[in-house]
Structure 1
Amino acid sequence: MAQITRHPVAPAPAAPPREATGRVLLRGYGIFVLFSGFAHLAWWNLLGPVGTAALAALVGAATIAIWVPLIVRAARPRADRAMRVAALEWRRLPWATLGYVALAGLSILWSRWPATSAVTFGLLLVTTIQALFLAHVFTWREIVRLLEVALRWALGLSLLFELWAALVLRGPLLPNFADAPADPNPQWYWTRGALFDLDVRIQGIVGNANILGIQCVLALIVFGVRFAMRPNRRGAIGAWIALALVLFWRAGSATALIAGLVVLAVLAAALLMRRAATPGQRTRLYALFTGLAVAGLAAVALLWNTILDALGRESGLTGRDRIWAGVWERAIERPVFGSGYASPWMPWDPMFDRWLVDKTITVVQAHDMWLDAFLQLGVAGVAVLAVVFGAATWRSWFFAVDRPRWDIVADRPYAPLTLIAPLILALLLTQGLTESGPIMLWGWLLVTMIAFRIKLAPIVGHGASEQMNRRDP
């Protein structure tokens, strides 16, 4: 006989499970890996080439030492499957990306600069391993959080560094704290110590205004997505967005400004596409976007000189036209498989030393990732690179505009997090028109990480690779 009782039938309330210590340490290491990628020039200016190479080798070895045991444990057949990391699905690896890496390694055999090819291929290999490790070990939400914290460190230290140079040092600083010659080239400076001089661009800890500007746009993407995810401390994220905007303004990078406008256009297109309820509406939107893109390109072609004047740039894009001409002249000598991998160019190699000079400084990149790939790996390299970025862009676009669906439920809400992939790729593709950054160091790390993670987890929060338990690895 049923009786009325005042005792609840639900289980007693309990505190949420604490985050495993091992997982916290693993995330801390992931933050350090990403920060080291973003601040690679800071390490270079602080430790010099030998110290930076040693640090890269050490971090690469540490990643392998951490990752391999996790892969082995995840592959063991166990009933409870109590693993911190899902089993590595080899068929989901970004094979086009790995093909580009393999082609870069093979190019040492026919390289015109074999020493540079060997050194830079080692750097490419370490960067690729780091990207695969991050994509496999962490969930989408963790990756966005790691990017947020790493960029906070990069931008925060940039501000502190510029404040120290302006208030304490009260002057410019050369890399490795070297003594300045009698009449130094301003391009040599790590920082010019001119934070409060609004007529001078700042360079941050990376020592380059263009890279600082691009990283500010990247930070705005990541911080904006985190803000839209409605975390507990939205005020703090708003403050970091404000800092990113200030540093973006002070960096004064035309490339970053154009990339930011492209990112805004892609964001608007993705949000409009999410509102399309039928395939017909999507088709009309795609036609609209195509027309706007064609009209925009035509306007840029017709108003090119006016745009350059508004940006305060020369018609030769600050000497890039001369660099492109020199690179093209050498590239067509070996058009099929190129002259050998070299990203970046090593300035002490006789084949690059004083080959192309910009304001008395040896140029270390082609300032266009497609032209750089053509020089190094020929038409074959450009074709593989096009597949890498094309496949990543294709998947990231539908990752953002398609509703999450794995059963008959077709009206689940969109996740703000899914916008991060197409926006980052839009940023890198735009930067790649005037810089070679997307095919080296942190640019390549982001492309590889996004390409692999989308293949592992095409739906945020669903699937084995998104269901991490809280036990120590």
Structure 2
Amino acid sequence: MAVYSKHPASAPPTPPVREKTGHLLLRGWCIFVLFMSLSGVAWVHTFGTPVAAAITIGAGVLSVVLWIILRPPVQWRRLPWFAAAYVVWATLSILWSAWPGTTAITLLLLYLTTIQALFIGTVLTWRELVRAVASALKWVMALSLLFELAVSVFVQAPMLPGFVVGEADDPIEYWSRNNLFDWPERLQGIMGNANLLGPVALLAIVVFGIRIAAGAPRRVLLYAWIVLSAFLFLRASSATAYLAAAAVAVVLATVLLMRRARRPGERTKYYIAYAVVGVGGLLGLWLLRDTIFSALGRSSDLTGREAIWEAVLGRTAERPWVGWGFATPWAPWDPAFDRWVVDHGQTVMQAHNMWIDVSMQLGIIGVVLMATVYFAFVWRSWFFAVDRPRWDLKADRPYSSLTLLPTLVGAILLVQGLAESTPLLLWGWLFVVMLGAKIKQSPHVGVGPAEQSAAIERGERSPALDEPYPPVERTHPPVVERAQRDETPSKRAT
């Protein structure tokens, strides 16, 4: 029987390193936080505003406590300072706010979302972050389908928030319209809004596709999740989500072409083509908006959004520089917003355009700050995706599909921001801060202090962490010390 030598030249084999229970719980908590932001107002529809607010505040406090206990490495000079400047300016607006109560409440939501974004981006590595986002999106997609299925099978009638079955003054009030088996009527999912479900379903398709390209296990299941997300995306029938999907396709194709460039000036033609397609697409969208939106089942004024924009811009003109005070979202119980702008009999809670919304709340200064936030995010995420990873003289390292996520998220949010204010709160703001901070803290996947702090992924360390330089191949057998050879010979296999 073969036995190990008493004097081995190397250490005996050991089982692979496994993730500790604490780290598994930490990742599970991050998935829960991401699910909270991606599911939007589902918590309000399910438990009511007071309970949803208590859950949100409690989650923020717990994340702060975990951050203090874990103390992950943070490069304070490389935080998203443009986003911090926007938060500071929003905070200062309480000094001149026309609705100080709403400003204080919505500022708390802004603080909690920003803290959660920085927390997740700090305690998770790139691979863990994408994996956590995928897990949260699975919960959102699965619960949306199960919710619509339960309403159609068991309730068989439209449902109002709070699980109330009854008639509404307008269909916009329904949490679910019982449309699952009525193709092609729109589905709303657990968010209770098809315009919120569509972009999240598109994000799910992007994330699951990135996971497949990254070589994630159980690819068959990931393809099934893509099919489910595509079904919900089509049934949501959101015109904004369709335009965002077109933008994602253009950006993805351009990034992949950029990665094929071998010479310094070879990317110029791709940039020119990208600019022509982008400008031409926007111009064509504007000139043919009647035909396009009619084909999508929408009016050319984006379902009444132009009237909302006119009302908001009229108020913006009265305080053009500093605005009326931060309020994201608008509080419908505040006298300043109650019945101010009405759509389908309901008080509108947003301007349906993030730039117009910011201009009304924080003025031209706020618009400039928000523009710098998105410009910095898009700039960093673009080169994070198209540049080959390099931190030494080695210039032929392979690209990582994980680096596609930030730039594709930027494309979704920028298009969505033209017709919705969602990029200013919930998952939109969380992803901008989280991914922007992560790029600054960890500009290379698997490399750097922020990645090494949580390097145990799927039971083993990332090779890039242990091999900053190409490994030296061993050409000779290991040398055994003379003192060991002079001792008792080892047992041999019989």
TM-score, normalised via structure 1 length: 0.93
**Counterpart amino acid of 1:134?**
I
User: Unaligned stretches of 5+ in structure 2?
Assistant: 457-494
Q: In structure 2, which of residues 402, 418, 426 is the aligned counterpart of residue 441 of structure 1?
A: 426
Is residue 158 from structure 1 mapped to residue 147 from structure 2 by the alignment? no
AA paired with 1:60?
G
Query: Within the alignment, does 1:196 sit opposite 2:181 as a pair?
Result: yes
Give the superposition deviation at 1:312.
1.4
Would you say the 8 A contact 2:195–2:238 is kept in 1? yes
Question: 1:169 & 1:301 partners in 2: Cα distance?
Answer: 42
| 2-structure distance, mates of 1:311, 1:179 | 30
- Residue 69 of structure 1 corresponds to which residue in structure 2? 69
> What one-letter code is carried by the residue in structure 1 that aligns with 2:192?
G
Report the alpha carbon displacement of residue 470 of structure 1 after superposing the two structures with TM: 6.8
- Structure 2 distance, partners of 1:234, 1:65, is 36
Q: Which residue of 1 aligns with 2:364?
A: 379
Q: Do residues 427 (structure 1) and 399 (structure 2) align?
A: no
**Correspondence for 2:28:** 28
From 391, 401, 409, the equivalent of 1:406 is 391
Give the alignment partner of residue 120 of structure 1, picking from 102, 106, 116. Answer: 106
Aligned runs of 1:57-456 on 2, under 5 Å? 57-71=57-71, 85=72, 87-178=73-164, 180-181=166-167, 184-456=169-441
Deviation at 1:467, TM superposition (A): 1.1
Question: Match of 1:40, SS?
Answer: coil
Q: Secondary structure at the match of 1:143?
A: helix
Deviation at 1:292, TM superposition (A): 2.2
Q: Secondary structure at the match of 1:277?
A: coil
CA distance in structure 2 between the partners assigned to 1:297 and 1:189 by the alignment: 34
Partner amino acid, structure 2, of 1:113: W
Q: Distance in 2 between matches of 1:40 and 1:286?
A: 36
Local SS of the residue matching 1:176 = coil
Cα distance in 1 for residues equivalent to 2:298 and 2:165: 32
CA drift of 1:199 comes to 3.4
CA deviation after TM superposition for structure 1 residue 351, in Å: 0.5
Query: How far off is 1:289 after superposition?
Result: 1.4
SS of match in other structure, 2:162: helix
Displacement of 1:111 in angstroms is 0.5
- Shift, 1:294, TM fit: 2.4
State the Cα distance separating 1:15 from its structure 2 match.
1.8
Q: Distance in 1 between matches of 2:146 and 2:344?
A: 29
Q: How far is the alpha carbon of 1:452 from its aligned partner?
A: 0.4
Q: What is the RMSD computed on CA atoms of the aligned residues?
A: 1.4
The 1:354–1:469 alpha-carbon spacing in structure 2 relative to 1, beyond 3 Å, is closer
CA distance in 2, matches of 1:150, 1:283: 38
Q: Which amino acid aligns with 1:22?
A: G
Tell me the alpha carbon deviations over residues 184-231 of structure 1, each in whole angstroms, 9 at most, x when there is no partner: 311111101220001321100011001100100110111010010111
Instruction: Please report how far the alpha carbon of residue 325 of structure 1 lies from its aligned counterpart in structure 2 after TM superposition.
Output: 0.4
Larger Rg: 2
Measured against aligned partners, the alpha-carbon deviations of 1:12-61 in whole angstroms (never above 9, x if no partner) come to 33221111111000000000000011113110001111111111111111
Cα distance in 1 for residues equivalent to 2:402 and 2:425: 25
Deviations 1:313-340 (A, max 9, x none): 1121100000000000011111101100
How far apart are the structure 1 equivalents of 2:276 and 2:38?
36
Mapped contact 1:37–1:442 kept (Cα < 8 A): yes
Cα contact 1:112–1:339 (8 A) shared by 2: yes
- 1:356–1:363: 8 Å Cα contact kept in structure 2? yes
Deviation of 1:8 after TM superposition, in Å, equals 8.1
Deviation at 1:88, TM superposition (A): 1.6
Structure 1 gap ranges (5+): 72-84
In the TM superposition, what whole-angstrom CA distance separates every residue of 1:117-144 from its partner, at most 9, and x where no partner exists? 0100000000000000011111111110
Contact 1:171 1:194 in 2 (8 A): no
- 1:469 deviates by 5.0
Percent identical pairs in the alignment equals 51
SS of 1:201's equivalent in the other structure is: coil
Contact 1:19 1:470 in 2 (8 A): no
TM-score in terms of structure 2 length: 0.89
